[in-house]
Structure 1
């Protein structure tokens, strides 16, 4: 026979599966029998039943095989597994397995899905059992076969009456967009043949009676109510107000074909709309009308509509009844089982009858048992609430039920009040201020190497001696409790010594990067009231600001004699600056209490032994740099400090990790990706704890590490929550989207809330708010921003408790993982640097030539900032002038790579900034046509670019930033240019020439000047 002999339903099921399991779908069901049966007799009865059905086969030489397997299995599940494996291994059409266990006699039936659908398989088993026992059999006068059914189907499709139905399904198929993902899925490792993720949920008797009463009251079928509730669950998890799903409807059930066995269910594409403000009953009636209309035209669904391959790409809904029977000496009752290699992504089946039941089947490569259970819980909850309140709206059912409790992820039992925390610190070394813990490590490991930087190294004893020397200088300069010390040195050893020395006198420190614009440094010094500055040469310079802005204070007692633990816990440890939404940088003031909690948590989650080597590569102005050196020093480990060039060079990092045992290292996902591109997977997997943070971690980056048994840790934490708030140990690459941000560290509590600060349920997106001991004291000089970001904690039960509103939208998955979704505002992350577009836009619009501006980030060819600028006058505007002005105000990491001049910013129909249109214009503007190097200088400059940026080619008009460069890359470029041309270019000269052509022209001009050639 050929495929032309197949019914439409068989063609639907016989088409190649796209599940990725590369195996045919096998249906499975089980029957509990009253006593064992004769297996040979059952085989003969089954073969006779199949022969009478006359089901078409793909190969005329392939006989119908119904193999009965003998087994000593003791459970139904064992029988299911053996039956599935046996059928797939032999390539038969169907098979049986008999198992005798303590809970009864089980008959398991399996069959290829193109032979039977679920209802057809159960009907086939019932007919075989009836034939076996001599019970009721189909009317012998009815000789209709499956071939007759196929012939009838073909004639119906060719009839004139079917044309209207075909047009109906053509419209349905044309607008059908399969509902694929709920954003709860995982990437699970399974070995084919794999049984579907499966769950059964029998509705309580009360709920089942309410369901029937509701159906009677509104004149609809029970399945329409269940499907409506399922749509509400889908809308909760993936709001789209339209759900395109496949609905399986049984084929002809009239007197002629009603007794046939085979595949009679059609899988029809339906588009169902959800109006949130409408009552649930309106949704039920809409669903019922769609089902009735589809049922009316189902016979007109034709082969031309199969191209959508709907059932293999999305969500499916079906209904069925369970088979049961009784014959002389034997009774049986069906129990649903999970199919193998399911063709649909997710299927909800409503089992009608006295015992109403929900059965949920999921793709085993995407859905875990916990997710299936969660979805069944959601469906039952929606049904319960909808049937109990006839006036309930869809929005009310979508909204989270406060009675379900808060979706709070807590890593602490309580948050101690400051007084209690201070009391415990006297007895718990882990709660000591970090400066005292480092001091203790110096005493315990005096001869061990504390810091290694290039050819220089420092033992713990020598480190303590230098700290003491700086402590004396700072004290003599009048630096004391709550005073600020600015550290402006580029020497990492001096920076670390000065930071710890500041703690020794009760002060806190502020990192001042040498490459910051002078205006920004002056603003930082003024706002924080810096009392003394450790200069680039290591000397201490004392300042006196009488008009300095006041820090949020805890008013600790004066320090006398030795530094007291209880005083330091509530004193400030550091102030760090990040980009701010108000148009100004945010100065975050962090206490020793929060820092001590951070180190205590890291000691448990990222243990490091004395003498182990930890890499220090993050610039001091980033909060992630703090734990990078504090945590190892507090445990007697050795800091291996990298120069700026090596810290961001993937080749240097991979070579170091390959040749030296590294216990702890951290990097951004962007740098991890570059390290993997140069073949560093083996070296990275050797690191005892490889911590990645600063950006969402793509699951694809985790695979090379975890497949080599590497220990990869995804870190998350805003600077306002003291560096890291959560960690996630990546043990597999099962994530479809980004790697989860993990569980909160000790002393932190995560709350996922809606806009009204109410907890949201599992699976729903909400704002992450963080409470606990790790919160900053506040924002320096910004009481309004502090009040807006740090709110009273309604969940802690402590009057002084606070939560920090992160601005990050997250969801909690059914397995407990917390997944980052996106930012709620326009904050950007570039190379791990937090950039609030408001601050950059404020700096741009402050220029007198600019009327309006907006900032976007483009991803192609590499992530980069693009400023869209509306000048006051095009004739009096220069992007070069604007670029130079911004370099005087902003760090280089926040300066846009390119400026796009527009007549006006695009607005949407509501008069708001149309960010999608803005992004499209920016992407179009930076799409520069490739122009090959035209001179020898351009060719050699392009080679330097390619080496630094790790790209194959660059055009002479390409932008350095837009091709993946950043501020630190310019240092590598200067070295490459020096080696190539024998000249030393200043950093400002290179930054101001961001294209190959501009840089080559500058080099030619410099060489002509050295050779005495007059400029043209």
Structure 2
């Protein structure tokens, strides 16, 4: 083609961007656009080619190429002449009678796109003419987007067809010169970028991009799909068409509210992004057309007169959709003076991190002019409506063609999304438009994304098996079982055993005594007891008397026990002589059960009569509270009974089973274990706290007691020795909950056993969903709802979220508790009216957990909406830890964060505290731990403490948790350069191996290294194995350093007369 050069010019900002992407990924079909036109009638191909040639002669952009090597700035070279050549194809034999034209055309278009262009070799367009029948042709116009925007391409097509019409009629088309494209480029370069920078910094201030969560939650990034994406090198698309009635309604409503249709379309897409990202503040790219009016004749020039710029939307769920549209229209008005701003500069002016995309979706609204039906005027050629195809490198690219029927198309990155996911996105976009077409004033928060089919499917997935209220109280389940198997063993502790009859009689006797002390319905009785049969008797006795039990762990700090006892307004406290020593003077009536044996024995063993009802209070469990104090969750009998009946449905526990009571008595998991066993005729096996700590001792206990069913946290199960699964052939069932479960753990424990993943909350009677696990290499899901439970994933406005979008889990049904004791505001916030239930006064519990449902219906936990966390299955409100730290007079501010261990997400999680303290007030981490242990249990005390000058804040003034630094390991000076003793060296090796570290210094703090009680159990177990001496877990936890631990070990070896060398 090339002859002499007519001129050399700079590129527009968008052309520079397209040039960069093309160079960076030369094998893709990105930015290669196509227009497909069907031509019916007698066609003169040579005249059509001459018509296109006239357009090439007329427009400089069609004679341009682009160069970048060995020059300071990329340049656009315009040649004096160029050639338009139409490549002709005769497909008549290949597609007889038109059969297979569409398939052949699709194959051709795909291959044609992949051919791409060399930007330094003009022409950067190609023309193909396929003859598919005697009087039907298909014209394919392929060009690189660096030349033309869609409007210019359609102008060119109309111009060429108009010239053709005149040529075949023997007329000469006009050859009026047009303004060259480089005049526009020069105009752009003269714009004041200083003003643009000021505008964009203000427009985007405080915005931080959020990922398209659907990319991860809604699809699986499979190797097969990635291979397809890499092979195809182009973005596929999905499409649908809104009916004419919807289009007409949208146009009418837009006019009534003085809005453009484009504004309504943009606002609808912004709303969809807001729901998908769970953010009220969203930004997406908007293709803006800009032909400056001060350039005379620019309306006839062909070229790239568009720019992709961010459009920000801040959505208020309580405001009408029309108001949101008005805000978007105002934003569009504001940015009209800055349409020439280079996107790369705008990105730098924003608060996005370097390399972080400001947006991942773009929208183009293509207001296509009707292409004249020239054939009908000449009687020779009829031009059918054309099809425009384009491809970008954005993950999601929306193209809207608002004709009589509104066409919606979304191109997508197949490496991140599959077709089904994008089809759902498109369906939700259409649903929003159909909703607002009926009422543009509907509040934003009340606009649902769900289609009718999705609502029906979610309703099926969300509902557990039907369950009518059982109409009995929890103790009745035990009494019925005691009547069926009175002489079967019910509970054991070491050598002590009670049958079901004995346990029932003992609980009846205690219940009679409790009633003498005024215990009846709604009376709360504290249980501050160590693990013992007395504790089980006390639980049953309180329920039989009609009261509600309140577990209190004797190991808790006195301040915490004092608060819980007073907050619960206990009518009576049941404890023991040993546990009482840990209690503060509470001024509460107290019975020491070990001293009340004779008094209890004097009472009747006959059943107790009480006025307790199924809706009466059964127990109160205190959980961590975000305000700095624990909160008591109130659970009624009907919720507990339904939970127990669901256990029978799911686990198949029976009279041949033996269930270990593993959980701490202060947690509701212990209630789960007690009724799992005693409600099914199984044996409940009790043991000391030391024996149930994960390690070799626990394996020995499980084997010795022939445990068949175990309830445990996944991290505790993972901490058992490698040989444990083989040593426990009797163990046929394991219920795991409170944490994520790794595929490796299932692979290790599944063979020969049934393993269940359960999920739930104290506030909803312990558990709500279940899934039986398999060793298929995939992490188990949260599962399906159990009987009597209904779940919903809701957005911030209370609307159900579709598949692939995270939402807050809200639970309904019979297991929802009453709320929180003495916390009416928090109860009103978390226990809300259930709009999905027909039951009067039904409530939903807002869990604060973010879950996401995948296309197969399975639910997965993805995070929290607040600062709550679970570590090793124990629930922690980081706000409570922060409040406790702020009580220290030297702490000006504090933040607490859960950090993952070295193995990645979810592994060895630990708490890290960030402190702003008085200048110069440096102190060892142990001082902070000692202070916190006055009010917090051990599991809530952070592992690490990081001192900062100030806490990092976002642009909106909120704590920026993402900017909190990773805690650094502080290796203290080890004093004089005295080498470690051989014993210390070996203990240090054991610590390092267990904690996953390369080495451990003799004076490094155990908790700062990431240690916890489970790891301590493993260390103690290994020490017992290596040296064959008794060694307690407390020796690891209390000492705190390798030196301390080795000193305790040396004393134990000396007392046993053993050598310090390992026993072999």
TM-score interval, smaller chain: 0.5 to 0.7
Trace 1:219-298 onto structure 2 (pairs within 5 A): 223=262, 226-227=265-266, 230-231=269-270, 234=273, 239=279, 243=283, 245-249=285-289, 264=304, 266-270=306-310, 272=312, 283-289=327-333, 292-294=336-338
1:793 to 833, 841, 846: 833
Alignment correspondent of 2:398: 348
For 2:815, which of 770, 774, 782 is the aligned residue?
A: 774
The reply to whether residue 181 of structure 1 matches residue 195 of structure 2 is no
The Cα offsets for residues 232-284 of structure 1, whole Å up to 9 and x where unpaired, read as 655676656573624253789999998999x8464433465759799657635
* TM-superposed deviation, 1:719: 0.5
Contact 1:267–1:311, Cα closer than 8 Å, also in 2: no
Asked if the contact 2:166/2:172 (under 8 Å) is kept, the reply is no
- Cα distance, 1:993 vs structure 2: 3.0
In 1, are the aligned partners of 2:348 and 2:354 still within 8 Å (CA)?
Answer: no
Q: Structure 1 residue 833: deviation in Å?
A: 1.6
Alignment size in residue pairs: 931
1:769 Cα shift? 5.1
Structure-to-structure mapping, 1:895-914, within 5 angstroms: 895-898=941-944
Residue of structure 1 equivalent to 2:738: 694
Alpha-carbon distance between aligned partners in 1 of 2:254 and 2:712, rounded to the nearest angstrom: 59
Deviation digits for residues 46-72 of structure 1, max 9, x if unmatched? Answer: 999999966869999xx9978787569
**Is the counterpart of residue 759 in structure 1 residue 811 in structure 2?**
no
Q: For residue 970 of structure 1, what is the aligned residue in structure 2?
A: 1016
**How high is the TM-score relative to the length of structure 1?**
0.66
Q: In structure 2, what is the Cα distance between the partners aligned to 1:838 and 1:565?
A: 41
Alignment-derived partner of residue 474 in structure 1: 507
Q: Does 1:377 align with 2:444?
A: no
Distance 1:623 1:178, change over 3 A: closer
Instruction: Note the C-alpha offset of 1:887.
Output: 4.0
Q: How far is the alpha carbon of 1:344 from its aligned partner?
A: 1.6
User: In the TM superposition, what are the counterparts of 1:620-635 in structure 2 within 5 Å?
Assistant: 620-624=665-669, 626-627=671-672
Matches within 5 A, 1:401-416: none
Whole-angstrom CA distance in 2 between matches of 1:712 and 1:41: 75
Q: 1:280 to 1:603 in 2, by over 3 A?
A: same
Larger Rg: 2
Contact in 2 for aligned 1:28/1:108 (Cα 8 Å): no
2:749 pairs with 1:721: no
Rounded to whole Å, the distance in 2 between the matches of 1:844 and 1:297 is: 48
After superposition, the Cα gap between the structure-2 partners of 1:935 and 1:74, relative to the gap in structure 1 and judged at 3 Å, is farther
Using the size of structure 2 for normalisation, the TM-score is 0.64
1:601–1:975 distance in 2 versus 1, CA, 3 Å: closer
SS of residue paired to 1:181: coil
Per the TM alignment, residue 187 of structure 1 is displaced from its structure 2 partner at its CA by: 3.4
Give, in whole Å, the separation in 2 of the partners of 1:954 and 1:478: 54
1:576 is aligned to: 621
Taking the TM superposition and a 5 Å limit, the aligned residue runs for 1:556-595 are 569-570=614-615, 574-581=619-626, 583-595=628-640
Q: Which residue of 2 aligns with 1:833?
A: 874
Q: C-alpha distance in 2, partners of 1:868/1:310?
A: 27
SS in 1 for 2:986: helix
What does 1:73-222 correspond to in 2, within 5 Å? 82=107, 86-87=111-112, 157=185, 162-164=189-191, 181-185=211-215, 186-189=218-221, 190=225, 191-192=228-229, 193=232, 195-202=236-243, 204-210=246-252, 213=255
Q: Are residues 302 and 570 of structure 1, via their aligned partners in 2, closer, same or farther at CA, if it must alter by over 3 Å?
A: closer
Equivalent positions of 1:857-896 (< 5 A) are: 857=897, 859=899, 863-866=909-912, 883-884=929-930, 886-887=932-933, 890-896=936-942
Pairing of 1:224-623 with structure 2 (within 5 A)? 226-227=265-266, 230-231=269-270, 234=273, 239=279, 243=283, 245-249=285-289, 264=304, 266-270=306-310, 272=312, 283-289=327-333, 292-294=336-338, 314-322=360-368, 324=371, 326=373, 327=375, 328=380, 330-334=382-386, 343-364=393-414, 365-366=416-417, 367-379=421-433, 381=435, 398-400=444-446, 421-422=469-470, 435=478, 466-478=499-511, 486=527, 488=529, 490=531, 515-516=555-556, 547=589, 569-570=614-615, 574-581=619-626, 583-601=628-646, 618-623=663-668
Aligned alpha-carbon RMSD (Å): 7.4
Any stretches of 5+ residues in structure 1 without a counterpart? 390-395, 538-543, 550-558, 682-686, 1012-1016
Tell me, what secondary structure is at the counterpart of 1:317?
Answer: strand
What is the distance in 2 between the residues matched to 1:18 and 1:530?
A: 79
For 1:77 and 1:651, the matched residues in 2 are separated by 69
Deviation track 1:500-528 (CA, whole Å, cap 9, x = no partner) reads 89878888766666754577678878956
Cα pair distance change 1:133/1:523, threshold 3 Å:
same
CA drift at 1:316: 1.4
Structure 2 SS opposite 1:421:
coil
Distance of 2:577 and 2:1034 partners within structure 1: 22
1:774: how far off? 0.6
Q: Is the 8 A contact 1:187 1:733 kept in 2?
A: no
Unaligned 5+ runs, structure 2: 3-7, 70-81, 118-124, 580-585, 592-603, 726-730, 902-907, 1058-1064
Would you say the 8 A contact 2:89–2:128 is kept in 1? yes
